Amino acid sequence: MLLPLQYALVGLVQLGGGREPWPLVVMPGFKATWHEGMPLLSQRVTFAIHRPDSTIQHLPADTVLAGLPYSHHRAMLEAFFRPASLSGTPETERIRHPDAGHWLWKRLQALTGSSPMRVDIVWEALRIDPKTGVLQTQPLDTLTLQRP
Amino acid sequence: MNIARLDRWLFDSFRPTARGLAAYRIAYALFVLLLLDPGHSPYFNFHPLADLPDSFFLPPPGLMQLFSGFPPRWFFAGLHLLLDLSLVALLFGYRTRLASWLTGLLFLIGFGFLFSAGKINHVILFVLLPWVMSFSNWGAAWSLDARLGRTRPDVEGWPLALLALLIGFAMFTAGFTKLLGGWLDPTTHAARGHWLKQYFVIGRRDLLADLATAPLPAGLWELMDWGTVLLEVGFLPAVFAPGLFRGFLGLMVLFHLSTALLFNITFVQNLIVYAAFLPWDRVAVRFPRIRLSPRPALLLIPLLGLAFYFFGSPLRRLDALAAFSSDLSLTELLANVTAALIVLGLGLIRLRQRLRRLLSLSPAAVVAHRRVRRALVTVLVLYATLVATHAGEFWPMSVFPMFSRAGQPWTRAVVRELEATEPVRWDTLQAPATLPGRPFPLNATTLDPVDLINFVTRPEPWDAQRRQTLQRLFGPELEGRRLLVLQVQGAPSAEGVQLRYIPILALTADTVLLHPALRP
């Protein structure tokens, strides 16, 4: 009895736009389907780091978030580093919070060896033709952070 | 299902022995300590969470919402230390029930914080496993509890039925979502879509991932969709037929291996959950008997716990032997391969038993079976002997060397038609654009290109007979033409394939001019 009930609870919570509860006995569904020839759409996040010597260093998001499980990277980027213009809510710009900014600067300092002056978190749309592997990119929006 | 049947299913479906459960308990503890390596491997290490800002604390609905941020580093250090100690305690069967509950609870808390960083990974079956198994009394044998007289000798089978139900239900939820999402629609290829996304977008391109772009028949992709949905949805009804359920578990193990090879995604923690249904009673019979005195064993528990806490699993050192472009690890891949081999081995044993039972029914069938086996062995030995002594070809027997020369240097031939006045040069050339004359398309003639290649690449001297044979091979194609035959040698290099075009001979209907170095 409990198993179907808790499964129904997941459905209800997610129907209301909420996140999946934990802990519950459910497995991922990977619901999405795909039609032959359809392009693959995704988004890419790059950190453009403006160093004190005026050079710009580009770091992939996976490098910045290394240390945390790889499967978490995409979800964390969407939840904390995503411009409100793309998500529709400033809740996804948590990286602007002072504690998050300090964490990012500490992390970037460890990665680049210097404290950046500014960081641009660049979001791009990706469109890949699965037949040819040709990749098209289109800039979406950028979240700019100044040194805290 | 009426109450009596439900009771029968719950209490009689799985009847483990104390030793069988003990073997599984030891396997579980070793699997987690050596393979999942809490505190050290990426997906089971909660330490980095302590460094995350509280702004990143986004707990999922549930008990984690009682917290307001990530705990400090000492908290996770303590959690991992306790986890290692409780796993080692499980290994030795010391305070087994407490250790089981502590293990489950610590994983639940650790994962609770990990999943409060934006994403839930579906490890719930693995987390619940030690709790469920604690009710089976899996510390009844081969344990310090048994040696110290702290446990009763009888064991329970219903926790295995409960675990089967949890697995069946969890799998069903995955399959049901796919069913609603349209995976069975023949116009969609959901599995391939996910595969392509992993390949192109995420960059998982190891092992057999390249097959994602292969022009395989649409039916095969659809079969993958249907197979996945049927496997996952079918798990729930299969729970009520233990034999069938084990079959589904076997298929799921093979499914996990295929996702590791094709998608480069592993989900190893579920393997030890499925392993609860292996015939551990039979394994236990073959276990070497080790009698540990309680006192040294009690000393070993904290020592081993500390060793795992500080140094991690020695097995995970294997990961350094293979670098993957994705987040695959060699240890996890080997775990998947081993699990698949166990499933295949058990399947073969089962098949052999069934065949024996079948064949034992009729003496005539036993004789026929022996004859067929003898004939098969004779043919195989003959085949191996003839093919091995005849360079892989002894018609109608042959080895199948498809792609066996891939990546090796190769030799082919090309033919160019020269103008009447064009001089013959014997320089070795390297670019196709520098070749003299114009292409002479062999497929427009009666000449077999493979015959020509074989003929011009043979190392024998170009005596008069061989030169005439080549003229005859071209036959009427030589009328009014001057042809230059070049040997092309290709070899892989860091820049790609390096080509060398070596002119061998120039032919007309009446004359054959040989490269100076080849003249007899």
Model confidence over B289-341: pLDDT tens digits? 777 788 888 999 999 999 999 999 999 988 888 888 888 999 999 999 999 99
- State the alpha helices, DSSP H only, in B182-322: 190-196, 218-238, 242-258, 269-274, 280-286, 294-311
- Across the A/B interface, how many CB contacts are shorter than 8 Å? 160
> Which B positions 57-96 lie with beta carbon below 8 A of chain A?
58, 60-62, 64
- CA B193 to chain A, closest CA, distance in angstroms equals 5
Query: Does one domain contain both B368 and B298?
Result: no
**pLDDT score of B70:** 97
B156 and B132 within one domain: yes
Pair (B115, B250) in one structural domain? yes
User: Which residue is it, tokens 């699990």?
Assistant: B339
Residue B403 within a domain: no
Q: What's the pLDDT score for residue B359?
A: 67
With beta carbons less than 8 A apart as the criterion, state whether B199 and B205 touch: yes
Nearest to B257 by CA among B248, B266, B249: B266
* Token reading at A52: 């004190």
Same domain for B184 and B290?
A: yes
**How far does the CA of residue A56 sit from the closest CA of chain B (Å)?**
25
Three-class secondary structure of residue B237 per DSSP: helix
Output the DSSP codes for B394-441.
ETTEE---TTTTTTS-EEEEEEEEEPTTPPP----B--GGG-SSEE--
- Within a domain: residue B356? no
pLDDT of B391: 66
pLDDT at residue number B518: 79
Task: List the domain boundaries for chain A.
Answer: 1-31, 32-146
Q: Are residues B423 and B451 in the same domain?
A: yes
Q: Are B138 and B92 in contact (CB under 8 A)?
A: no
Question: CA nearest A77 in B: which residue?
Answer: B118
Interface probe for A, chosen from B49, B122, B236 (most Cβ of A below 10 Å), is: B122
Is residue B357 included in any domain, yes or no? no
Number of domains making up chain B = 3
Say whether both B377 and B471 belong to one domain. no
- Helix axes B242-258 and B218-238, enclosed angle (nearest 10): 140
pLDDT, residue B332, reads 94
Nearest by CB to B181, from A29, A94, A97: name it.
Answer: A29
Q: Name the residue facing B193 among A22, A24, A33 (closest C-beta).
A: A33
Tell me the chain B residues in contact with residue A31 when contact means C-beta distances shorter than 8 Å. Answer: 177-178, 180-181
> What pLDDT, on a 0 to 100 scale, did the predictor assign at position B336?
97
What was the pLDDT predicted at B289? 74
Chain B residue with minimum CA distance to A101: B53
Mean pLDDT to the nearest integer, A12-35: 82
Same structural domain for residues B416 and B393?
no
- Do residue A33 and residue B180 have CB atoms under 8 angstroms apart? no
Q: Chain B contacts of A80, Cβ < 8 Å?
A: 55-56, 58, 118
B282 and B313 share one domain: yes
- The answer to whether the Cβ–Cβ distance between A30 and B169 falls below 8 Å is no
What was the pLDDT predicted at B100? 98
Interatomic CA distance for residues B486 and B426, integer angstroms: 10
B1 Cβ under 8 Å from any chain A Cβ: no
Residue A48 near chain B (CB below 8 Å): no
Same domain assignment for residues B140 and B167: yes
Q: In chain A, pLDDT over 70 holds for what percent of residues?
A: 99
In 3D space, the residue among B190, B320, B313, B318 whose CA is nearest the CA of residue B263 turns out to be B190
The 10s digit of each residue's pLDDT in A39-57 is 999 999 999 999 998 899 9
Examine the domain organization and report whether B319 and B420 are in the same domain.
Answer: no
- The per-residue pLDDT for A73 is 94
User: For B381-427, how does the pLDDT look when each residue is reduced to its tens digit (9 = 90+)?
Assistant: 988 888 777 766 777 777 665 555 666 778 888 999 998 888 888 88
User: Any CB–CB contact under 8 A between A72 and chain B?
Assistant: yes
Distance from CA of B311 to the nearest CA of A (A): 18
Do B420 and B336 reside in the same domain of the chain? no
Cα distances (angstroms) measured from residue A17 to each of A10, A31, B112, B310: 11, 16, 20, 42
Do residue A72 and residue B118 have CB atoms under 8 angstroms apart? Answer: yes
Q: Residue B181's domain spans which residues?
A: 3-351
Q: Report residues of chain B scoring pLDDT below 50.
A: none
Residue A78 has pLDDT above 80, yes or no: yes
Whether B176 contacts chain A with CB within 8 A: yes
B508 touches chain A (CB under 8 A): no
- Residue B199 CA to residue A131 CA, distance in Å, equals 12
Q: Are B19 and B167 in contact (CB under 8 A)?
A: no
B290/B374 same-domain check? no
CA distance B321 to B330: 8
> Do the chains contact at A33 and B60, CB–CB below 8 Å?
no
